[in-house]
Amino acid sequence: MTATAGHDPVTQLLAQLLGASYEATAALPDATPLLGAGLGLDSRTAVTLLARIKSEIGVDVAAEDLFLDALESVGALREFVLARLAT
C-alpha cells in the first residue's frame, strides 16, 4: 500500500473497503462497531479487511487475536494494529 504521510494505515484500508474518503472514515467515533449495527461489514468483507491488514501492514490480526476482539470497533482495530506495529 502506498501510505499517505500522516495517514493512519488501518483507517486508510478501511476507507478503501468502504469506498469512503479518508477524512470521513477517520471522523468515525472510535466506538463505532465494525460488524452488525455500525459499519455493518459482512463476514466476507471483514475477512478481506484482515487479509489486507496482514499483507499491507504486516499485522496478522486473525492469528494474534484468536477471539477477534479487535473487530469490536473501529478504535479497537486501530489500537490493536498500531500497538503491534510499535513493538
Partner 1 sequence: MQPDSAEIKCVVWDLDGTVWDGVFLERDDREEITPRADVLAMMERLDAAGVVNSVASRTASVVETELRRLPRLWALLVAPQLSWGPKSESIRAIAETLGISTSSMLLVDDSPFERAEVLARCPGVQVTDRREALAMFERGDRMPRDLSPDARRRVDRYRAELRRQEAGAQFSSLEDFLWTTLLKLTIRPAVATDTVRISELVRRTRRLNSSGLPLPVDAAEKLVSQPGMLVAELQDRFGDYGLIGLTVVEANRDMWWAPLIAMSCRVQGRGVAPALLDHVTRVAAEAGATSFAVPLRPSDGNTELRVLLRQLGFSGIRDGSPPAPSGAARALLAAEPGSVVWLVRQLGELPAGPSPWVSLEADDSWATFDDRHVGCMR
Task: Kindly state whether residue 2 participates in binding partner 1, applying the rule CB under 8 A.
Answer: no
Distance CA 60, CA 81 (A): 9
CA atoms within 13 A on the CB side of 45: 14
Kindly tell me which residue out of 62, 79, 82, 84 binds partner 1, with binding defined by CB under 8 A: 62
From CA 11, how far away is CA 25, in angstroms rounded?
A: 6
- Is residue 43 involved in binding partner 1 (CB under 8 A)? yes
Check binding of 50 to partner 1 (CB under 8 A).
yes
Contacts with partner 1 by CB under 8 A lie at 35-36, 42-44, 46-47, 50, 62-63, 66-69, 71
